[in-house]
Amino acid sequence: MKRRAPWIVLVVLLMIIGSGFIPTGYDVLFAGNPFNLDEFVQYEGGSELDGDLGMTYVASLQNSKWPIMILTHFSKKGVEIVPSVTGQQDLGFEELDYQNKIMMEQSKIKAEYIARGLLGEEPKLELQGFYPVYYFPDWKNKDAVKVTDILVGIDGEKLESYEQLDQLIVEKEPGEMLTLSLVREGKEIEVDVTTYPYKDYYGNTLLGVFFEEVFETSKDENIEWQNIENLGGPSAGLMITLTLLDKMMEESLLKGNAVAGTGTITIDGEVGPIGGVKQKVIGAANAGFDYFIVPLDGEWDKNESIARKTISEEGLDIELIPVGTIEDAVDALEKLPEKKGRE
Protein backbone atom coordinates (compact mmCIF):
# COMPACT_ATOMS: atom_id res chain seq x y z
CA MET A 1 0.00 0.00 0.00
CA LYS A 2 2.83 2.37 0.84
CA ARG A 3 4.34 1.84 -2.61
CA ARG A 4 1.06 2.77 -4.30
CA ALA A 5 0.50 5.96 -2.28
CA PRO A 6 2.76 8.20 -4.41
CA TRP A 7 0.94 7.05 -7.54
CA ILE A 8 -2.43 7.85 -6.01
CA VAL A 9 -1.21 11.32 -5.01
CA LEU A 10 0.15 11.86 -8.52
CA VAL A 11 -3.15 10.82 -10.12
CA VAL A 12 -5.11 13.15 -7.83
CA LEU A 13 -2.76 16.05 -8.62
CA LEU A 14 -3.08 15.42 -12.35
CA MET A 15 -6.87 15.35 -12.03
CA ILE A 16 -6.84 18.68 -10.15
CA ILE A 17 -4.51 20.28 -12.68
CA GLY A 18 -6.48 18.84 -15.58
CA SER A 19 -9.75 20.19 -14.23
CA GLY A 20 -8.28 23.67 -14.57
CA PHE A 21 -8.58 23.34 -18.34
CA ILE A 22 -12.17 22.10 -18.33
CA PRO A 23 -14.96 24.70 -18.77
CA THR A 24 -17.42 24.67 -15.87
CA GLY A 25 -20.58 25.47 -17.84
CA TYR A 26 -21.02 28.60 -15.70
CA ASP A 27 -20.50 32.30 -16.36
CA VAL A 28 -18.93 34.58 -13.76
CA LEU A 29 -20.57 38.02 -13.55
CA PHE A 30 -19.02 41.05 -11.84
CA ALA A 31 -19.23 44.84 -11.90
CA GLY A 32 -17.77 46.75 -14.82
CA ASN A 33 -17.00 50.48 -14.98
CA PRO A 34 -19.78 52.40 -16.79
CA PHE A 35 -19.13 53.91 -20.22
CA ASN A 36 -19.55 57.67 -20.38
CA LEU A 37 -21.77 58.10 -23.43
CA ASP A 38 -20.75 61.66 -24.29
CA GLU A 39 -18.22 60.60 -26.91
CA PHE A 40 -20.37 57.82 -28.38
CA VAL A 41 -23.50 59.88 -29.09
CA GLN A 42 -23.00 63.02 -31.17
CA TYR A 43 -25.47 65.64 -32.39
CA GLU A 44 -24.17 68.30 -34.76
CA GLY A 45 -25.19 71.74 -33.57
CA GLY A 46 -26.13 70.35 -30.15
CA SER A 47 -24.38 70.82 -26.82
CA GLU A 48 -21.91 68.72 -24.90
CA LEU A 49 -23.20 67.04 -21.77
CA ASP A 50 -23.13 69.24 -18.66
CA GLY A 51 -22.36 66.29 -16.41
CA ASP A 52 -21.91 62.56 -17.00
CA LEU A 53 -24.29 59.95 -18.41
CA GLY A 54 -22.95 56.45 -17.89
CA MET A 55 -24.13 53.22 -19.44
CA THR A 56 -23.56 50.42 -16.95
CA TYR A 57 -22.70 46.89 -17.95
CA VAL A 58 -21.87 43.52 -16.46
CA ALA A 59 -18.38 42.17 -17.01
CA SER A 60 -18.37 38.41 -17.48
CA LEU A 61 -16.18 35.38 -17.91
CA GLN A 62 -18.19 33.05 -20.10
CA ASN A 63 -18.09 29.30 -19.51
CA SER A 64 -15.19 29.92 -17.13
CA LYS A 65 -12.67 27.34 -15.95
CA TRP A 66 -12.54 26.25 -12.30
CA PRO A 67 -9.42 28.12 -11.06
CA ILE A 68 -10.46 31.39 -12.72
CA MET A 69 -14.01 31.09 -11.39
CA ILE A 70 -12.80 30.54 -7.82
CA LEU A 71 -10.20 33.35 -7.93
CA THR A 72 -12.71 35.83 -9.39
CA HIS A 73 -15.25 34.95 -6.74
CA PHE A 74 -12.87 36.03 -3.97
CA SER A 75 -11.20 38.98 -5.75
CA LYS A 76 -14.16 40.86 -7.27
CA LYS A 77 -17.09 42.70 -5.69
CA GLY A 78 -20.67 41.64 -6.36
CA VAL A 79 -19.67 38.41 -8.12
CA GLU A 80 -22.43 36.04 -9.22
CA ILE A 81 -22.01 32.61 -10.79
CA VAL A 82 -24.80 31.63 -13.19
CA PRO A 83 -25.37 28.88 -15.80
CA SER A 84 -23.59 29.77 -19.03
CA VAL A 85 -25.76 31.70 -21.50
CA THR A 86 -23.69 30.30 -24.34
CA GLY A 87 -24.44 26.79 -23.15
CA GLN A 88 -28.16 27.45 -22.74
CA GLN A 89 -28.56 28.98 -26.17
CA ASP A 90 -26.16 26.63 -27.92
CA LEU A 91 -24.96 29.58 -30.01
CA GLY A 92 -21.46 30.21 -31.24
CA PHE A 93 -19.46 33.40 -30.68
CA GLU A 94 -20.27 34.79 -34.13
CA GLU A 95 -24.00 34.22 -33.61
CA LEU A 96 -23.96 35.90 -30.20
CA ASP A 97 -21.95 38.78 -31.65
CA TYR A 98 -24.52 39.20 -34.43
CA GLN A 99 -27.33 39.23 -31.87
CA ASN A 100 -25.61 41.94 -29.83
CA LYS A 101 -25.05 44.09 -32.90
CA ILE A 102 -28.64 43.92 -34.14
CA MET A 103 -29.85 44.65 -30.60
CA MET A 104 -27.65 47.75 -30.46
CA GLU A 105 -28.77 48.84 -33.92
CA GLN A 106 -32.39 48.64 -32.81
CA SER A 107 -31.53 50.53 -29.61
CA LYS A 108 -30.12 53.35 -31.76
CA ILE A 109 -33.21 53.44 -33.97
CA LYS A 110 -35.52 53.54 -30.95
CA ALA A 111 -33.40 56.25 -29.31
CA GLU A 112 -33.62 58.49 -32.37
CA TYR A 113 -37.35 57.93 -32.89
CA ILE A 114 -38.22 58.52 -29.22
CA ALA A 115 -35.96 61.57 -28.74
CA ARG A 116 -37.25 63.29 -31.86
CA GLY A 117 -40.82 62.49 -30.89
CA LEU A 118 -40.39 64.00 -27.42
CA LEU A 119 -39.12 67.19 -29.03
CA GLY A 120 -42.22 67.53 -31.19
CA GLU A 121 -41.02 65.94 -34.43
CA GLU A 122 -42.89 63.22 -36.30
CA PRO A 123 -40.26 60.85 -37.75
CA LYS A 124 -41.47 58.02 -39.94
CA LEU A 125 -41.39 54.52 -38.50
CA GLU A 126 -41.63 51.22 -40.34
CA LEU A 127 -41.74 47.67 -38.97
CA GLN A 128 -39.41 45.46 -41.01
CA GLY A 129 -40.09 42.18 -39.22
CA PHE A 130 -38.85 40.35 -36.12
CA TYR A 131 -35.46 38.93 -35.18
CA PRO A 132 -34.90 35.90 -32.87
CA VAL A 133 -33.52 36.71 -29.43
CA TYR A 134 -33.94 33.51 -27.41
CA TYR A 135 -34.49 29.81 -28.18
CA PHE A 136 -35.80 27.17 -25.81
CA PRO A 137 -32.89 24.69 -25.68
CA ASP A 138 -35.22 21.68 -26.04
CA TRP A 139 -37.34 23.06 -28.91
CA LYS A 140 -36.91 20.49 -31.67
CA ASN A 141 -37.11 23.08 -34.48
CA LYS A 142 -34.53 25.53 -33.13
CA ASP A 143 -32.15 24.77 -36.02
CA ALA A 144 -34.85 25.79 -38.52
CA VAL A 145 -34.71 29.46 -37.48
CA LYS A 146 -31.28 31.06 -37.83
CA VAL A 147 -30.08 33.96 -35.70
CA THR A 148 -29.74 36.06 -38.86
CA ASP A 149 -33.33 35.38 -40.04
CA ILE A 150 -36.06 38.03 -40.01
CA LEU A 151 -39.61 36.76 -39.42
CA VAL A 152 -42.12 38.54 -41.68
CA GLY A 153 -45.17 36.24 -41.71
CA ILE A 154 -46.97 33.27 -40.20
CA ASP A 155 -49.18 30.85 -42.16
CA GLY A 156 -49.20 33.19 -45.15
CA GLU A 157 -50.29 36.21 -43.09
CA LYS A 158 -47.97 39.24 -43.18
CA LEU A 159 -47.03 40.47 -39.71
CA GLU A 160 -47.95 44.07 -38.94
CA SER A 161 -47.40 44.18 -35.16
CA TYR A 162 -46.06 42.23 -32.20
CA GLU A 163 -49.63 41.79 -30.93
CA GLN A 164 -50.56 40.08 -34.19
CA LEU A 165 -47.51 37.80 -33.95
CA ASP A 166 -48.42 36.85 -30.41
CA GLN A 167 -52.07 36.22 -31.28
CA LEU A 168 -51.24 33.92 -34.21
CA ILE A 169 -49.13 31.76 -31.89
CA VAL A 170 -51.59 31.76 -28.98
CA GLU A 171 -54.33 30.48 -31.30
CA LYS A 172 -52.32 27.30 -31.89
CA GLU A 173 -52.11 24.22 -29.69
CA PRO A 174 -48.82 22.92 -28.25
CA GLY A 175 -47.03 20.77 -30.82
CA GLU A 176 -49.15 22.12 -33.72
CA MET A 177 -47.49 22.89 -37.05
CA LEU A 178 -47.29 26.36 -38.56
CA THR A 179 -45.39 27.96 -41.42
CA LEU A 180 -42.95 30.79 -40.83
CA SER A 181 -42.07 33.26 -43.58
CA LEU A 182 -38.43 34.23 -43.05
CA VAL A 183 -36.11 36.62 -44.86
CA ARG A 184 -32.79 34.79 -45.11
CA GLU A 185 -29.82 36.27 -46.97
CA GLY A 186 -32.14 38.67 -48.78
CA LYS A 187 -34.63 36.05 -49.93
CA GLU A 188 -38.00 35.14 -48.42
CA ILE A 189 -38.38 31.47 -47.60
CA GLU A 190 -40.98 29.35 -45.81
CA VAL A 191 -40.14 26.99 -42.97
CA ASP A 192 -42.51 24.54 -41.27
CA VAL A 193 -42.12 24.25 -37.51
CA THR A 194 -44.18 23.08 -34.56
CA THR A 195 -45.06 25.12 -31.49
CA TYR A 196 -43.42 24.38 -28.16
CA PRO A 197 -44.93 21.23 -26.56
CA TYR A 198 -45.73 23.00 -23.24
CA LYS A 199 -47.81 26.07 -22.42
CA ASP A 200 -46.48 28.96 -20.35
CA TYR A 201 -47.50 29.95 -16.82
CA TYR A 202 -50.63 31.67 -18.11
CA GLY A 203 -51.71 28.71 -20.23
CA ASN A 204 -50.63 30.28 -23.53
CA THR A 205 -49.04 28.42 -26.42
CA LEU A 206 -45.40 29.30 -27.19
CA LEU A 207 -43.41 29.05 -30.39
CA GLY A 208 -40.08 27.88 -28.97
CA VAL A 209 -38.25 31.02 -30.02
CA PHE A 210 -38.85 34.60 -28.87
CA PHE A 211 -38.65 37.55 -31.25
CA GLU A 212 -38.18 41.32 -31.04
CA GLU A 213 -39.22 43.96 -33.57
CA VAL A 214 -36.94 45.22 -36.32
CA PHE A 215 -37.73 48.88 -37.00
CA GLU A 216 -36.49 51.43 -39.48
CA THR A 217 -36.98 55.18 -39.08
CA SER A 218 -36.31 58.31 -41.10
CA LYS A 219 -32.84 59.65 -40.30
CA ASP A 220 -31.76 62.95 -38.79
CA GLU A 221 -28.44 63.68 -40.50
CA ASN A 222 -27.25 65.61 -37.44
CA ILE A 223 -27.15 62.43 -35.37
CA GLU A 224 -23.89 60.48 -35.40
CA TRP A 225 -23.06 57.34 -33.46
CA GLN A 226 -19.36 57.00 -32.71
CA ASN A 227 -18.14 53.39 -32.34
CA ILE A 228 -21.16 52.47 -30.24
CA GLU A 229 -21.90 49.11 -31.88
CA ASN A 230 -19.87 47.02 -29.46
CA LEU A 231 -21.03 48.66 -26.22
CA GLY A 232 -23.89 46.28 -25.56
CA GLY A 233 -27.37 45.18 -26.50
CA PRO A 234 -30.90 46.20 -25.56
CA SER A 235 -30.08 47.31 -22.01
CA ALA A 236 -28.30 50.32 -23.52
CA GLY A 237 -31.60 51.64 -24.94
CA LEU A 238 -32.66 53.95 -22.11
CA MET A 239 -29.29 55.59 -21.55
CA ILE A 240 -28.42 56.31 -25.19
CA THR A 241 -31.91 57.78 -25.62
CA LEU A 242 -31.34 60.13 -22.67
CA THR A 243 -27.88 61.06 -23.99
CA LEU A 244 -29.22 61.92 -27.43
CA LEU A 245 -32.16 63.82 -25.97
CA ASP A 246 -29.91 65.88 -23.68
CA LYS A 247 -27.72 66.88 -26.62
CA MET A 248 -30.74 67.85 -28.73
CA MET A 249 -32.36 69.96 -25.99
CA GLU A 250 -31.54 73.61 -25.34
CA GLU A 251 -31.32 73.16 -21.56
CA SER A 252 -29.22 70.48 -19.85
CA LEU A 253 -30.96 67.60 -18.12
CA LEU A 254 -27.90 66.79 -16.01
CA LYS A 255 -26.99 70.20 -14.56
CA GLY A 256 -23.54 68.97 -13.57
CA ASN A 257 -24.67 65.66 -12.05
CA ALA A 258 -23.22 62.23 -12.82
CA VAL A 259 -26.00 59.80 -13.69
CA ALA A 260 -25.54 56.15 -14.61
CA GLY A 261 -28.26 53.70 -15.45
CA THR A 262 -29.62 50.83 -17.43
CA GLY A 263 -32.86 49.60 -18.96
CA THR A 264 -34.35 48.39 -22.20
CA ILE A 265 -36.76 50.68 -24.00
CA THR A 266 -39.70 49.97 -26.30
CA ILE A 267 -40.59 52.04 -29.31
CA ASP A 268 -43.36 53.58 -27.18
CA GLY A 269 -40.86 54.73 -24.55
CA GLU A 270 -41.57 52.12 -21.88
CA VAL A 271 -38.55 51.12 -19.81
CA GLY A 272 -38.10 47.39 -19.37
CA PRO A 273 -36.11 45.13 -17.03
CA ILE A 274 -32.55 43.99 -17.47
CA GLY A 275 -30.19 41.48 -15.90
CA GLY A 276 -27.17 42.07 -13.72
CA VAL A 277 -28.66 44.93 -11.68
CA LYS A 278 -26.51 44.07 -8.68
CA GLN A 279 -23.26 44.33 -10.65
CA LYS A 280 -24.40 47.44 -12.50
CA VAL A 281 -25.28 49.50 -9.44
CA ILE A 282 -22.00 48.46 -7.77
CA GLY A 283 -20.07 49.50 -10.88
CA ALA A 284 -21.85 52.88 -10.97
CA ALA A 285 -21.16 53.57 -7.30
CA ASN A 286 -17.52 52.49 -7.53
CA ALA A 287 -17.04 54.87 -10.48
CA GLY A 288 -18.35 57.82 -8.43
CA PHE A 289 -21.73 58.38 -10.05
CA ASP A 290 -24.29 60.32 -8.01
CA TYR A 291 -27.45 58.62 -9.28
CA PHE A 292 -28.46 55.28 -10.76
CA ILE A 293 -31.52 54.99 -13.03
CA VAL A 294 -33.18 51.58 -12.74
CA PRO A 295 -36.39 50.04 -14.16
CA LEU A 296 -39.34 49.86 -11.79
CA ASP A 297 -40.24 46.45 -10.38
CA GLY A 298 -42.55 44.40 -12.56
CA GLU A 299 -44.56 41.24 -11.93
CA TRP A 300 -41.58 38.95 -12.49
CA ASP A 301 -38.53 41.20 -12.57
CA LYS A 302 -37.50 43.09 -9.43
CA ASN A 303 -34.78 45.44 -10.71
CA GLU A 304 -35.58 48.25 -8.28
CA SER A 305 -35.75 45.94 -5.25
CA ILE A 306 -32.43 44.28 -6.14
CA ALA A 307 -30.77 47.68 -6.58
CA ARG A 308 -32.07 48.96 -3.23
CA LYS A 309 -30.96 45.79 -1.46
CA THR A 310 -27.50 46.01 -3.04
CA ILE A 311 -27.07 49.65 -2.05
CA SER A 312 -28.01 48.80 1.53
CA GLU A 313 -25.94 45.62 1.87
CA GLU A 314 -22.83 47.02 0.18
CA GLY A 315 -23.08 50.47 1.80
CA LEU A 316 -22.98 52.22 -1.58
CA ASP A 317 -23.01 56.02 -1.82
CA ILE A 318 -25.44 56.42 -4.72
CA GLU A 319 -29.08 57.50 -5.03
CA LEU A 320 -31.65 55.44 -6.93
CA ILE A 321 -34.00 56.80 -9.62
CA PRO A 322 -36.63 54.14 -10.49
CA VAL A 323 -38.48 54.77 -13.78
CA GLY A 324 -41.18 53.11 -15.86
CA THR A 325 -41.03 55.29 -18.99
CA ILE A 326 -38.68 57.67 -20.76
CA GLU A 327 -40.92 60.50 -19.55
CA ASP A 328 -40.32 59.37 -15.95
CA ALA A 329 -36.58 59.55 -16.51
CA VAL A 330 -36.72 63.00 -18.10
CA ASP A 331 -38.93 64.34 -15.30
CA ALA A 332 -36.59 62.93 -12.65
CA LEU A 333 -33.50 64.45 -14.28
CA GLU A 334 -35.17 67.84 -14.66
CA LYS A 335 -35.83 67.85 -10.90
CA LEU A 336 -32.23 67.10 -9.92
CA PRO A 337 -30.48 69.88 -7.99
CA GLU A 338 -27.76 71.73 -9.85
CA LYS A 339 -24.31 70.44 -9.00
CA LYS A 340 -21.21 72.56 -9.39
CA GLY A 341 -17.55 71.90 -8.92
CA ARG A 342 -17.54 68.24 -9.95
CA GLU A 343 -14.01 66.99 -10.39
pLDDT in tens, 316-342: 999 999 999 999 999 999 999 988 654
CATH architecture of 125-216: Roll (2.30)
Q: What residues does CATH 2.30.42.10 cover in the chain?
A: 125-216
For residues 78 and 283, give the distance between their C-alpha atoms in angstroms, rounded to a whole number.
9
Cβ proximity of 66 and 24 under 8 Å: yes
Strand partners, 33: none
pLDDT the model gives residue 15: 42
Q: Which CATH class is domain 26-123+218-334?
A: alpha beta
Higher pLDDT, 254 or 5: 254
User: Which residues are CB-neighbours of 308 under 8 A, at least 6 positions away?
Assistant: 320
Segment 175-201 mean pLDDT: 96
Segment 196-204 mean pLDDT: 93
Segment 75-82 mean pLDDT: 61
CA distances to 168, 173, 205, 261 from 198, in Å = 16, 9, 7, 36
pLDDT at 95 over 90: no
Percent pLDDT > 90 in the chain is 65
State the chain's mean pLDDT as an integer: 86
| Confidence band for 31, pLDDT divided at 50, 70 and 90 | confident
Q: What residues does CATH 3.30.230 cover in the chain?
A: 26-123+218-334
Segment 151-176 mean pLDDT: 96
pLDDT at 310 over 70: yes
pLDDT the model gives residue 96: 81
Segment 31-50 mean pLDDT: 89
pLDDT the model gives residue 94: 85
pLDDT at 307 over 80: yes
Cβ proximity of 231 and 32 under 8 Å: no
| pTM of structure | 0.84
